[in-house]
Amino acid sequence: MKIKYKGLSFIRQIALIVGVMIISTQVSFSNESEGRHLTNDEEVYDAGKMIIEHVIDAHEWHIMTIGKTHVSVPLPVILYDEGEFVVFMSSKFHHGHEEYKGYKLELDGENKGKIVNVESGVLPLDLSITKNVAAMLMSMVFISWLFISIARSYTKRKGMAPKGMQSLLEPLIIFIRDDVAKPSIGEKKYEKYMPYLLTLFFFIFLNNMFGLIPFFPGGANLTGNIAITGVMAVFTFLITTFSANKNYWVHIVNTPGVPWWLKIPIPLMPVVEIMGVFTKPFVLMVRLFANITAGHIIVLGFMSLIFIFGNMNVGLGYGVSVVSVAFAIFMGLLELLVAFIQAYVFTLLSALYFGMAMEESH
């Protein structure tokens, strides 16, 4: 099965440019608003701040804002500082306006979003259950329940037609096996990599889908966090490295078919090939992170247009809202497809790297 997504990438690039332009226009509109008289209850809408706050990690799970009241789910703060653990709930910070037990959640500056020791000014070791960590734990529990229940269905209904959740996910499982693992790794060796590839695909795909849900327990930008994509890329790198046979390393150090003068006295091609060993997982990490984050920024950028123009004129805000909501819905539908494509691409490239590492000599 071949999926052509070059056209989608072009559309997303154009939309991202529009999103960046939307954020940049906020600066000029804010300046205009600052030039007029603001009442005590009136605030200039900061689109850039709102977008960044929605795509980065946080110590609480924001639900909604009613007026000046923030409704959120507090999360555990776990700090290791000066030889001891400090544990409390993030609600003690009162949205960063107060300190608790000598610690404060910074809202501005270079340590924005981090917890600082007020007295010493240093950053303690932060082991907190943040929004992304909580989302990851919930998705892990959900995926474990999903696959255990499907495995039990296969055991109980052996030889029978799939039913329920089993029938829903079986096409995806067969797709990963027949169109990803077998062609990339080979008929003889693909089976031992199937658990990892299935875990990788469903973890990325389901978290991409959860990230599109705008309310709790969705809305976490988990796969748009470079730490998460980096860990998955490192696992792919380690499996590739430890699965590699002699032929793989020979092709890197002494690439066949390359003129000798590119190998000695300056080993140009071996250096390029060794760099490729590390750039492959790096590309995996950045591709998933950038595509998912860009999608969220674009949707939030279109929604911000309503409030940016609404600050200028209420009628203009209502007029722009029609266009903004239409584009946001279009991007949301596009993100449903991208959620699958990015999971597929990450899994496919991982399988290709495994297959390349075990390629036999011709």
For 8-32, how does the pLDDT look when each residue is reduced to its tens digit (9 = 90+)?
454 455 445 444 444 443 333 333 3
Residue 125 has pLDDT above 70, yes or no: yes
pLDDT tier at 97, thresholds 50, 70, 90: low
Given a contact cutoff of 8 angstroms between Cβ atoms, the answer to whether 351 and 197 are in contact is: yes
Please tell me whether residues 206 and 75 are part of one structural domain.
no
Nearest residue to 190 (alpha-carbon basis) of 348, 17, 53, 1: 348
CA dist., res. 346 & res. 89, Å (int): 36
Residue span of the structural domain in which 243 resides: 131-357
Beta-bridge partner residues of 86: 79
Name every residue whose Cβ is closer than 8 Å to that of residue 97 and which is 6 or more positions away in sequence. Answer: none
- Please check whether residue 16 lies inside any domain of the structure: no
Please tell me whether residues 145 and 268 are part of one structural domain.
yes
Please tell me whether residues 103 and 203 are part of one structural domain.
no
pLDDT tier at 39, thresholds 50, 70, 90: very low
Q: What was the pLDDT predicted at 26?
A: 39
What percent of the chain is modeled with pLDDT above 70?
Answer: 81
Query: What's the one-letter identity of residue 69?
Result: T
Token readout for 321 is 């809202």
Domain end (from 79, 97, 129): 129
Comparison of pLDDT for 85 and 101, the residue scoring more = 85
Looking at residue 67, what DSSP letter applies? T
Domain end (from 129, 158, 184): 129
Average pLDDT rounded to a whole number, residues 204-228: 86
Comparison of pLDDT for 265 and 345, the residue scoring more = 345
Please tell me whether residues 124 and 140 are part of one structural domain.
no
Task: Specify burial of residue 194 (Cβ count, 10 A radius: 0-12, 13-18, 19+).
Answer: middle
Please tell me whether residues 80 and 175 are part of one structural domain.
no
Q: Which helix (H) or strand (E) holds 255?
A: none
Beta-bridge partner residues of 109: none
Please tell me whether residues 231 and 101 are part of one structural domain.
no
Please tell me whether residues 272 and 286 are part of one structural domain.
yes
Please tell me whether residues 118 and 155 are part of one structural domain.
no
Please tell me whether residues 337 and 269 are part of one structural domain.
yes
Mean pLDDT of the chain: 79
- Please check whether residue 139 lies inside any domain of the structure: yes
Please tell me whether residues 197 and 245 are part of one structural domain.
yes
Looking at the whole model, is its pTM more than 0.85?
no
Nearest residue to 328 (alpha-carbon basis) of 5, 15, 11: 15
pLDDT tier at 256, thresholds 50, 70, 90: low
- The model's pLDDT over 175-191, given as tens digits with 9 standing for 90+, comes to 999 999 999 898 888 88
Count of domains for the chain: 2
Q: What was the pLDDT predicted at 165?
A: 81
Task: Specify burial of residue 340 (Cβ count, 10 A radius: 0-12, 13-18, 19+).
Answer: middle
CA dist., res. 276 & res. 262, Å (int): 16
- Please check whether residue 9 lies inside any domain of the structure: no
Please tell me whether residues 106 and 218 are part of one structural domain.
no
- Please check whether residue 109 lies inside any domain of the structure: yes
Please tell me whether residues 113 and 242 are part of one structural domain.
no
Q: Which helix (H) or strand (E) holds 251?
A: helix 246-253
Q: What was the pLDDT predicted at 258?
A: 62
Domain end (from 107, 129, 151): 129
